[in-house]
Structures are given as structure tokens and as C-alpha cells.
Amino acid sequence: MSLEIKVPEVGESITEVTIASWLKKDGDYVEQDEIIAELESDKATFELPAEAAGVLKIKADEEETVEIGAVICEIDTDAKEGSGSSDSSSDKEEEKKEEGSSASKSESSSSNGPSKTGEMHTMVVPTVGESITEVTISTWLKGNGDYVEMDEIIAEVESDKATFELPAEANGLLEIVAEEGDTIEIGATICKIEVTEGSAPSSDASGSGSDSKEETTSASSSDSDKETYATGHASPAAAKILKEKGIDPSNIKGTGKDGRITKEDAENAEKQAKSQESTKPKESGKETASSAPAPSGERDQRREKMSSLRRTVARRLVSVKNETAMLTTFNEVDMKPIMDIRKKYKEQFKEKYEVGLGFMSFFTKACTMALKEWPAVNAQIDGNEMVFNDFVDMSIAVSSPKGLVVPVIRNAEQLNFNEVESEVIRLAKKARDGKLSIEEMSGGTFTITNGGIFGSMLSTPIINAPQSAILGMHNIVERPVAINGEVEIRPIMYVALSYDHRIIDGKESVSFLYRVKELLEDPTRLLLGV
């Protein structure tokens, strides 16, 4: 029987997802509840488990965007383990035959060399961090067919955060699957090792490829007593420079440890190449005079593929701009009263509640009070109806390594200052660690975003659909203001309210923002509820 696996519902406002990666291949046997794919929405990444055991048949490719409820794959529950496609099994047999024939050459070259066990060990990209989903092969330190020993460093792999070394997981002959420069996902096959027993092969029997490498290395660094895998290889930073400038690393003598090509070596080689170009004779005075002067300085470019999350967020933001009658109103807030309270009570507050007294709790409490008085700002449009909420689920925009996420503080109107601060800290930490769940980012009724922490003076934030309004906080700057007929220097913050004019009128938006200003400039009102 063939069981259809459909895209599950992952949130109220989410109508489609993107297939980030397939963790199992078409024709693979999967167990029930085994994770077979990773899906991305505009809010989070989540895993798709197999609903039954059987042979997988993929219906939607990676990077494809599919709607909720659409068939993403099928599982043949009648098939048994090991009954994958005959093509794949025959391909594997052919691969093993080729591996056997190529390896027999190295066996015959030395009677004292290692003997093959018949086992083929597959190495996959290890997990290097919770938020890292893919890596790039920077450098192979061993060649295809080379003999490698357990724990010997065979490659350098780069993530978006760091470079790390890949050790061999067995003794044997290396078969490279992913080439230098390839970007592969965590858990994908990077190479295979045909496991052998016995001592390492002698230098005479290690193959012509290794002989030629040794000759090249000895010619380039005759003074070195001992050569290692690093000899003649470029570091990740150096390799990037050489690749961009089209310089052959074999023509460079490395000055690093064990003859490694460093970033400085690559930069020097680039300067030499430029100087050689500048000394070339000019063809003719006429052509030189008519040609435009060459721009000075570096003019490098680089391209990066947009992640599925960023593409989805971009599409939704454009959709909001096109489908709502968005307008923004502004005001300014004198932050001195709040700053005086924080200065006076922050130590006692932290000692009692074990959290700091920040600005977010004041703004959250002020907004929840103002939303009760102006309920349209806390409402949303659903078809031809307006949905009014008698509660406030406050969305807080947080910058994370993967992009902007918006976790939700449930029933914010019922929380006191320390409870709001604790929730903000908890959700922000989970966002930066990439551990937010779909439930923690769904169902908000109003959003606060703080661009001031990055230095923004003024902005027009975009509504977080299907909500109808968003409040933007900005940086605090000392400015001259008139107080009781006299000019004083006060810490001033500009605040902005973007709103959907289809449901919120100008009177409501301006009155709401003025009420927030009033509550913030006299925080006693927050305690008395007036």
C-alpha cells in the first residue's frame, strides 16, 4: 500500500512551506517516525517525520514551495528494508567493482601493504552547531585514492561561523564524494573510506599520485626535514584569495607551518601578479588615449544564495505592502521619567526579581493599556469581518542569526513588569539559539520592534500580518525641548505607529500613540491605571 505524506498544518497564518532539505533519498527505506525532511516557513524550520515504515518516493524537490495539505512524498508500506530500486543497488555494485579494481593496483604494488576487509566506511558531515545546516568543503588535504589513517586530518570544512578540520574515521583508501568548493548539508556524505587492515603502505607503493606530490613538495621546500599534509596547501582564507584572482597555488612557496600557504603568502602573490600586469608594454598611444581610465581600488563582488526563510519573509513583506492600506504616524516621548525610575530602582528590582528593569516592560505595559482603550488597533481583518481581541498577545521583534523572528508574549495585559522582562529575555535567548517553536511565534495581536538598539533614529516599520498595527521604538538622543516656557535638554525618543487604514482610522491611530506617550512620560499612570 502506498501512503501519502502531506504537509502538516504548522500555524494559523502559515499557508505554505519550503522544502529546505531531504534527509533521505528517493528509494530509501525509512522507519516510522524517522525524520525524512526539513521544512521552512517564514517563521521557523521544523522536521517532517515518516508516518510509516517503507520505501520513500519523493514528490516535491528541495527548494520547492508547497501549500499546506499538499502531498510531499509517498511511502510504500508493503516494501521491506533492502528492497530499494534495482538501479541504485546495481550502481552500488558497479561502484564496488570499480573500487575493487582500482584498489587491486595498490595491493599488487606492495606485498607488505595493508589488506582490504571489504568494508566501505561512509563519512558524513558532522553536526557543528545547532543553527548550522550546511558547510563548504574548503580544502582536501588528501587526494582521491590516498591511504589515510584513523584520526588523520583529511579535509578542512567551513561553516558560516568557523573553519574546522575533518579527521578520518578509519584506516583505508580514500574515495572523495564532495569536491572542493561544494556546499553540502549536515549529515550528507562527504567521502568514503575502503577499510584496510595492517600497516600503512610504503612510499613506493602508495601510488603515482602521492609520488608526484612528494616530488613537487621536495622541489619547493628542500630545506624541510619532514613534510605533512599541510605542505603546499593553502589555508581557507588564502585559498579564497587565490581562487578569486586565478592564481595557481602550486606556483607559491608557503611560509606557514610545514610549508602551508598563508593569507599573507596569497596577498603577496596577488601583488606580484598586479605588478607584472602593470609592467606590460602599452600597445599604442592612440588606444591608450581613447580608453577610459581604469578605476582604482578593489572592485570585488560576491554572490550568496538567499535562504528559504529570507525569501519567504521577503515575499510576505512585499505582500503586506501591496495588500494593506499602510500608513505611519509619529510622536516623541520624553524618556527622563522612566530613566529616573530605572536609575533609582534598578538595583533593588534586579536583586528581587533576578532580571533587569528595561524599557521593554514600560512600553509593553503602556501599549496594553492603550489597546484596551482603542481596540481597533488590536484587531485584524478576516475576509469581510473585523476580529476584535479582548486580550493582548504581544509580538516582540528579535534579530536572530537566521533573520528577523517575532516571538509572542501571551496575555501581556495580565503580566507585571518583572514577568514581562523575564519573558522578553527567555524568548530572545531561544530566538538567538534557533530553538523557538511554531507555537511561540504564532497568534500575536500587536507588535513592538526596537530599531533603537541598532542606532535607528526614525523608521516606518512594516505591519506583521495579519495584525493591523506595529509600534517602532528608536534610539534615545538628548535634544533641547521647551519645558514650562524654558529650554531644557531631555532624552527624547521618536516613536512610530504603522497601521492598516482599512480598519484603523486616523483619529484612533493618533489617539493611541498619544496615549502611549502620555503613559510613558508619567509612569505613575501605569501603576494607577489612569
Q: Buried b vs exposed e over 201-238: b needs ≥16 C-beta within 10 Å?
A: beeebbbeebeebeeebeebbeeeeebebbbbbbbebb
Are the C-beta atoms of 446 and 367 separated by less than 8 Å?
yes
Q: Given the residues 61, 182, 433, 501, select the one marked as catalytic.
A: 501
Q: Given the residues 160, 223, 505, 522, select the one marked as catalytic.
A: 505
Burial of 132 (0-12, 13-18, 19+ CB in 10 A): middle
Angle at 16 between CA 11 and CA 20, to 5 degrees: 100
DSSP state of 187: T
501 is catalytic: yes
Are the C-beta atoms of 162 and 172 separated by less than 8 Å?
no
> How far apart (Å, rounded) are the C-alpha atoms in residues 351 and 95?
66
| Residue position matching grid coordinates 610545514 | 258
Residue 129, Cα to own-chain centre: how many angstroms?
11
Burial of 301 (0-12, 13-18, 19+ CB in 10 A): exposed
Query: In this structure, which amino acid lies at residue 493?
Result: M
H/E element holding 451?
none
Question: Which string of DSSP letters, residue by residue, matches 366-389?
Answer: HHHHHHHHSGGGG-EEETTEEE--
| Residue position matching grid coordinates 494559523 | 12
Are the C-beta atoms of 113 and 106 separated by less than 8 Å?
yes
- In sequence order, the 6+-apart residues with CB closer than 8 A to the CB of 426 are none
> How far apart (Å, rounded) are the C-alpha atoms in residues 191 and 165?
14
> How far apart (Å, rounded) are the C-alpha atoms in residues 39 and 47?
6
> How far apart (Å, rounded) are the C-alpha atoms in residues 33 and 40?
19
474 is catalytic: no
Are the C-beta atoms of 435 and 43 separated by less than 8 Å?
no
> How far apart (Å, rounded) are the C-alpha atoms in residues 356 and 342?
9
Residue whose C-alpha is closest to residue 412's, from 333, 342, 471: 471
**Residue 275 — φ and ψ, nearest 5°?**
-65, -35
Catalytic residues: 501, 505
